[in-house]
Structure 1
Amino acid sequence: MEQEINFVKLNPTQNMTILVETTHPTKAHKDIATRIMSYDSVYAEQVGFIEEPINYKADAHLQMAGGEFCGNACMALAAFITSKQELKHNHVKKILLEVSGTDSLVECEVRRVEDEYYCQITMPIPKEIKQTIISHVGNKLDVTLVDYGEFVHIVMNINDINERVKEEAQSLAKSLSLTLNVSLIGILLYNQDSNELEPLIYIPHLDSMVWERGCGSGTASLGSYLAWKNKKRTITHVKQPGGIITAVANYQEGKLISLKIEGFVGIVAQGKAFITV
């Protein structure tokens, strides 16, 4: 059966994101997302669905296809909403979003910069950050676990990020999905000398594994980890394959008290997709 899907495609630091404007039942999200983000369709790394919010304070509800939370998709939706309001260059708009994967409203500040949008958004604060040892295929890995409850990120300090290391990261993500009941597992390969990040995002519900060119939630987790490690407020400009995303993590009296990320979003395309599901 062919369906007509209204969509907009956005570019938050090359983490190509499709937002679906038409309304569809939640049970159909997985199939629609799998089809529309494939190479022979619109093609992207992730899909979110724009819905009516329950909270009257929110401007929209963002439901990710896998039920996960996604910082870049939040920035993308905030930019898209702002684009409809014909904001002038350098003017700022504030947007509030309901988002899957978190119970808190996400605050977004969007500034128009020529034909792009510079977004700063509040991010969920991790429930726990800890050093731990993970046993995987006979190896004991010394990693940092950034745990949000509904999703987790694993920070791995790696000096040489090569194909063998990436394959091991993919295997680790799959393995962790068998024991962790979470909507998303991120493996963050981090070179602390160059401040470079290679983020792997695995969504078990969709069986979607992507080396993202820019990861907002991964950047937030890295900022959290660095603030926790250094026991102080940290601003870090994280280099990723698609560009730079900035994390601002406030740390006081032994804990994180706020977390934000910042980055550019461009609108790439808007129209109709025809998919068979």
Structure 2
Amino acid sequence: MRRLRIVRADPAGNITLFVLTPVEKAQCAAVAAELMKIGELKAEQVGFVFPNGHMEMEAGEFCGNASRAYGYLLAKQQGLTGRHTMHLSVSGCDHPIAVTVDMDAGTSEAEMPLPRFVRPVNVDGTAGTLVHLGGIAHLVVQGVTPSREFFEKAEPLFEKEPGLEAYGVCFLAGERMTPLVKVPEAGTLVFEGSCGSGTLASAIALSEGHEGRFSAALTQPAGTVCASVTRQAGAVVAASIGGAVTLGEPFEVTI
């Protein structure tokens, strides 16, 4: 039995638990799996706050929603008001990312990793765009009914890419997006309330052929996330996501 101090964060419905009690990196996936079994928490993912301030996701993946929620959590802990930018160490990214919080508006925006590649693909006769963001990749498709069955058909695309800690399918229908994300090490496949990296992948797919700054606000099952992409000569040179964040008060659980 182990007692953990937890904060429940809600970045646009992508419910994230932050574990404030130190946990060894090798134990993160197992601890996350136990926490996600607690039904009343309704958690979709778990992040671990290390004593040095680093935030590690359950399987070492990068998560934009968790990163911007973590920045909001730090700002709240420090009693900040107004607008502030900080640089945070998070898993799945090889450099500190910029997170800008607006404590008065209740929003947080996070710098996102640039895509390693953006590739047109075909799954069972359906055209899509595969966006590789480093530790996570997403297939973006339009006009497809969200389903685990389609995900299974798409999964071989991700299995060909080494080093992925997580991957998902983003089902687009106009300005609505439904994300289905798998974290193999944690053994989870979840229709998420919202997905930051999935929002970015969708914006990248939608921005094909645009030059300069392109923004999209995508409504997802539990909230809306905004993504901005800047292209120069066709290449993505800057990207970010933002939106509302709410935080609960710290509490303790025993697993």
Partner residue in 1 for 2:210: 230
Partner residue in 2 for 1:244: 224
Deviations 1:19-48 (A, max 9, x none): 001111112111110111223464400001
Q: CA deviation at 1:150?
A: 2.6
Is 2:7 aligned against 1:16?
A: no
Counterpart CA distance in 2 for 1:229 and 1:196 is 21
Q: Say if 1:229 and 1:197 are closer, same or farther in 2 by CA, change over 3 A.
A: farther
Q: Say if 1:173 and 1:19 are closer, same or farther in 2 by CA, change over 3 A.
A: farther
Partner residue in 2 for 1:274: 254
Q: CA deviation at 1:83?
A: 0.5
Counterpart CA distance in 2 for 1:270 and 1:42 is 13
Q: Say if 1:42 and 1:243 are closer, same or farther in 2 by CA, change over 3 A.
A: closer
Counterpart CA distance in 1 for 2:246 and 2:64 is 15
Counterpart CA distance in 2 for 1:41 and 1:173 is 31
**Which 4+ residue blocks in structure 1 deviate beyond 4 angstroms?**
173-178
Q: Which amino acid aligns with 1:66?
A: A
Q: Which SS does the other structure have where 1:23 is aligned?
A: coil
Q: CA deviation at 1:197?
A: 0.2
Partner residue in 2 for 1:220: 200
Partner residue in 2 for 1:172: 153
Q: CA deviation at 1:180?
A: 3.5
Confirm or deny: 8 A CA contact 1:173 1:202 kept in the other structure: no
Query: RMSD in angstroms over aligned alpha carbons?
Result: 1.8
Q: TM-score, normalised by structure 2?
A: 0.93
Q: Which SS does the other structure have where 2:194 is aligned?
A: coil
Confirm or deny: 8 A CA contact 2:23 2:50 kept in the other structure: no
Confirm or deny: 8 A CA contact 1:92 1:109 kept in the other structure: yes
Partner residue in 2 for 1:190: 172
Q: Which SS does the other structure have where 1:113 is aligned?
A: coil
Partner residue in 2 for 1:34: 33
List alignment gaps of at least 5 residues for structure 1.
Answer: 54-59
Counterpart CA distance in 1 for 2:180 and 2:115 is 18
Q: Which SS does the other structure have where 1:149 is aligned?
A: coil
Q: CA deviation at 1:178?
A: 4.3
Q: Which SS does the other structure have where 2:147 is aligned?
A: helix
How many equivalent residue pairs? 254
Deviations 1:172-206 (A, max 9, x none): 35544544331111100011xx3110001101111
Confirm or deny: 8 A CA contact 2:130 2:137 kept in the other structure: yes
Counterpart CA distance in 2 for 1:149 and 1:47 is 19
Is 2:78 aligned against 1:98?
A: no
Moved more, 40-49 or 2-11: 40-49
Q: Which amino acid aligns with 2:79?
A: E
Partner residue in 2 for 1:122: 111
List alignment gaps of at least 5 residues for structure 2.
Answer: none
Partner residue in 1 for 2:120: 131
% identity of equivalent residues: 26
Partner residue in 2 for 1:56: none
Q: Which SS does the other structure have where 2:253 is aligned?
A: strand
Partner residue in 2 for 1:70: 63
Confirm or deny: 8 A CA contact 2:171 2:178 kept in the other structure: yes
Q: Which SS does the other structure have where 2:248 is aligned?
A: strand
Confirm or deny: 8 A CA contact 2:210 2:231 kept in the other structure: no
Confirm or deny: 8 A CA contact 1:94 1:107 kept in the other structure: yes
Counterpart CA distance in 1 for 2:40 and 2:110 is 30
Deviations 1:73-96 (A, max 9, x none): 0011111100112223xx112221
Confirm or deny: 8 A CA contact 2:92 2:134 kept in the other structure: no
Deviations 1:114-167 (A, max 9, x none): 6xx211110001011121224xxxx33321110123321100111x63xxx413
Q: Which has the larger radius of gyration?
A: 1
Q: CA deviation at 1:15?
A: 0.6
Partner residue in 2 for 1:5: 4
